[in-house]
Amino acid sequence: MSILKDASQVAGSEVNKLLLQAQALVDATAGDQAERVQAARDALGGCLKSARDALHETEGRFLETFRAADSAVREKPYYAMGGACLGGLFLGWLLARKS
């Protein structure tokens, strides 16, 4: 599970860096009173807020799904191994087919 948290943290930190840079751009143009700049700032600010909300929601759902899958594999490991074998056989059959 630590590998998942590491990957999740790396992806989350990259998105957060992007959001922080965009927020810095919005803040840098705070003194500009032109209507077009103000409208662009407002639109970008709204997009940044919705992007942050979506990121947190998606991250939460992803972790919930991972925990559910992890517990299912721990409860019934043979089902997980059988499913992986069947998936591998199916993928091998698809790749080995000739058109």
- Whether 22 and 49 have beta carbons less than 8 Å apart is answered as no
Measured from the Cβ of residue 29, the count of other Cβ atoms closer than 10 Å reads 14
The mean pLDDT of 36-57, rounded to a whole number, is 80
Predicted confidence at residue 74, as pLDDT, reads: 93
Domain range holding 8?
2-96
Instruction: Tell me: pLDDT of 1 over 60.
Output: no
